[in-house]
């Protein structure tokens, strides 16, 4: 890793940050340097900017000035820029936070939190073909079960691994791995494909692919797939409304029941087929969006689609209703609105998914638009007056 004192490298990172071309590794370096360098608050006058692009330019100027004044590491501070803008938006960042809202005044939030709610964690329930349930969270590390020549193990970090025993015959048996609200898990299938399962999701799959011509699994909810290459045995993911077929690639499928089915490709190529027979081919950086009638294929920023796997909430001009739906799955909360019109307010932002829910809600409150009340696992949203 480059040193924080390498000015040329930091200048390069700053310019790449502005253009949105930082790799995950570079972003980590950039955030760390920024957190250790910033020690004051940047304020912009009302009406200074009409769009986030102008803010990026202004922030870049400040960041570049820091490069020439690199100091020794110190206590972490967070940068907040408050401006008036046409849309209500928020960036929730670990090292850089930017809030856009309709008012120049800034509220520090209200103390309407009777209790706090911890983030979700690794965990799942594995249901074997014979109906036996294994609660992964409570199970000890090591061998969980044996099925027709297949050993099922749990690693120290909670990952589920299937291993085929040499010299044994495998029969066709199906298992189901399911996460509840507030849970996520990771599994290595018998073909060595890796699947990351998001909260409130389930994956049904055979305990062995050895006797099958294709590797077919069924998904409800959201999962990220890293599929092992096998040209003779295509990997197929069935959801409630589509079929995704690949040979070996990396992709994300979001198929929650309350939203359109979205398939996002990071590597390789996949075909997406829906019940009507319509089919689309995705290339890296593309996403299919199926609303139950028609497939639409668009270019997307893939980092937003897999942020959940990488430990973040990352929102890009998303409405409050969708944001709170995401939070409800991870924090196992029930959301209520005093003013239904708030559901359509737009935000964008980034924050670690391992923060308590109060931190996220209080940051949203700083837009001076909404306020939250937490009682038990019920979160009520109302408009600030």
Whether residue 190 is found in the same domain as residue 268: yes
Whether residue 19 is found in the same domain as residue 162: no
Whether the pLDDT of residue 223 is over 90: the answer is yes
Whether residue 28 is found in the same domain as residue 132: no
208 neighbors 228 (Cβ within 8 angstroms)? no
Q: How confident is the model at residue 224 (pLDDT cuts 50, 70, 90)?
A: very high
Whether residue 232 is found in the same domain as residue 300: yes
Parent domain of 22: 7-86
Q: Is residue 110 part of a domain?
A: no
Choose the final residue of a domain: 240, 272, 305: 305
Output the pLDDT for position 46.
Answer: 37
Output the pLDDT for position 170.
Answer: 63
Q: How far apart are CA 129 and CA 215, in angstroms?
A: 17
Q: Is residue 231 part of a domain?
A: yes
Whether residue 144 is found in the same domain as residue 286: yes
Choose the final residue of a domain: 280, 305, 330: 305
Whether the pLDDT of residue 24 is over 50: the answer is yes
CATH number at residue 211: 2.60.120.1440
Whether the pLDDT of residue 285 is over 80: the answer is yes
Q: Is residue 312 part of a domain?
A: no
Whether residue 206 is found in the same domain as residue 261: yes
Whether the pLDDT of residue 63 is over 60: the answer is no
Total number of domains constituting the chain: 2
Q: Is residue 170 part of a domain?
A: yes
Exposed/middle/buried for residue 361 (C-beta within 10 Å: 0-12, 13-18, 19+): buried
Whether residue 75 is found in the same domain as residue 133: no
Whether residue 125 is found in the same domain as residue 248: yes
Whether residue 166 is found in the same domain as residue 63: no
Average pLDDT in the chain: 78
Pick from 116, 88, 114: nearest CA to 102: 88
Output the pLDDT for position 384.
Answer: 86
Whether the pLDDT of residue 11 is over 60: the answer is yes
Q: Is residue 349 part of a domain?
A: no
Lowest mean pLDDT segment, chosen from 145-159, 181-195, 200-214, 259-273: 145-159
Q: Is residue 167 part of a domain?
A: yes
Q: How far is CA 277 from CA 113, 238, 273, 295, 340, in A?
A: 50, 14, 6, 11, 37
Whether residue 147 is found in the same domain as residue 274: yes
> Where is pLDDT greater, at 196 or 293?
196
Q: Is residue 344 part of a domain?
A: no
Task: Give me 132's structure tokens.
Answer: 């036996």
Print the SS3 string covering the chain: CCCCCCHHHHHHHHHHHHHCCCCHHHHHHHHHHHHHHCCCCCCCCCCCCCCHHHHHHHHHHHHHHHHCCCCCCCCCCCEEEEEECCCCEEECCCCEEEEEECCCCCCCCCCCECCCCCCCEECCEEECCCCCEEECCCCCCEEEEEECCEEEEECCCCCEEEEECCCCCCCCCEEEEECCCCEEEEEECCCCCEEEECCCCEEEEECCCCCCCCEEEEEEEEEEEECCCCCCCCEEEECCCCEEEECCCEEEEEECCCCCEEEEEEECCEEEECCCCCEEEECCCEEEEECCCCEEEEECCHHHHCCCCCCEEEEEEEEHHHHHHHHHHHHCCEEEECCHHHHHCEEEEEEECCCCHHHHHHHHHCCCCEEEEEECCEEEEEECC
Lowest mean pLDDT segment, chosen from 24-28, 178-182, 248-252, 303-307: 24-28
Whether the pLDDT of residue 91 is over 60: the answer is no
> Where is pLDDT greater, at 347 or 355?
355
Q: How confident is the model at residue 26 (pLDDT cuts 50, 70, 90)?
A: confident
143 neighbors 108 (Cβ within 8 angstroms)? no
Q: How confident is the model at residue 283 (pLDDT cuts 50, 70, 90)?
A: very high
> Where is pLDDT greater, at 286 or 91?
286
> Where is pLDDT greater, at 96 or 185?
185
Q: How confident is the model at residue 107 (pLDDT cuts 50, 70, 90)?
A: very low
Choose the final residue of a domain: 259, 287, 305: 305
Lowest mean pLDDT segment, chosen from 20-29, 126-135, 368-377: 20-29
Whether the pLDDT of residue 200 is over 70: the answer is yes
Whether the pLDDT of residue 349 is over 90: the answer is no
Whether residue 175 is found in the same domain as residue 230: yes
Whether the pLDDT of residue 252 is over 90: the answer is yes
Pairing assessment for the beta strands 142-147 and 174-178 based on DSSP bridges = unpaired
Pick from 220, 212, 213: nearest CA to 238: 220
Residue that is written with structure tokens 């291993």 in the block: 163
Q: How far apart are CA 160 and CA 210, in angstroms?
A: 19
Whether residue 148 is found in the same domain as residue 60: no
Q: Is residue 262 part of a domain?
A: yes
Q: How confident is the model at residue 4 (pLDDT cuts 50, 70, 90)?
A: very low
Whether the pLDDT of residue 255 is over 90: the answer is yes
Q: How far apart are CA 204 and CA 187, in angstroms?
A: 12
């Amino acid at each position: 890793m480059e040193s924080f004192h390498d000015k040329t490298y930091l200048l390069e990172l700053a310019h790449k940050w502005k253009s949105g071309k930082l790799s995950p590794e570079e972003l980590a370096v950039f955030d760390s340097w920024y957190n250790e360098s910033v020690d004051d608050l940047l304020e912009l006058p009302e009406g200074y900017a009409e769009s986030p692009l102008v803010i990026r330019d202004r922030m870049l100027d400040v960041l570049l000035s820091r490069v020439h004044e690199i100091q020794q590491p110190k206590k972490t501070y967070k940068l907040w820029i408050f401006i008036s803008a046409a849309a209500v938006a928020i960036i929730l960042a670990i090292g850089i936070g930017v809030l856009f809202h309709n008012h120049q005044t800034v509220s520090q939030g209200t103390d309407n939190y009777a209790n706090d709610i911890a983030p979700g964690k690794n965990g799942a329930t594995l249901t074997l073909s014979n109906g036996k349930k294994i609660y992964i969270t409570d199970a000890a590390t090591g061998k969980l079960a044996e099925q027709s020549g297949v050993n099922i193990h749990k690693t120290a970090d909670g990952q589920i691994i299937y291993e085929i025993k040499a010299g044994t015959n495998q029969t066709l048996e199906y298992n189901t791995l399911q996460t509840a609200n507030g849970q996520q898990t990771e599994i290595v299938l018998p073909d060595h494909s890796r699947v990351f399962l998001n909260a409130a999701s389930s994956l049904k799959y055979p305990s062995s692919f050895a006797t099958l011509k294709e590797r077919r699994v069924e998904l409800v909810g959201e999962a990220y797939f890293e599929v092992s290459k096998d040209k003779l045995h295509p990997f197929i993911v069935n959801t409630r409304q589509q079929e995704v077929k690949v040979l070996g690639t990396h992709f994300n499928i979001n198929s929650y029941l309350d939203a359109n089915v979205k398939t996002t490709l990071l590597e390789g190529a996949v075909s997406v087929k829906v019940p009507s027979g319509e089919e689309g081919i995705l290339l890296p950086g593309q996403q299919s969006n199926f609303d139950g009638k028609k497939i639409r294929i668009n270019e997307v920023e893939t980092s937003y689609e897999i942020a959940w796997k990488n430990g973040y909430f990352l929102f890009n001009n998303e409405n409050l209703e969708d944001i709170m739906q995401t939070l409800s799955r991870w924090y196992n909360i029930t959301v209520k609105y005093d003013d239904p019109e708030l559901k359509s307010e737009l935000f964008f932002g980034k924050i670690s998914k391992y923060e308590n829910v109060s931190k996220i809600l209080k940051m949203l409150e700083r837009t001076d638009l909404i306020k939250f009340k937490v009682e038990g696992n019920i979160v009520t949203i109302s408009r600030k007056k």
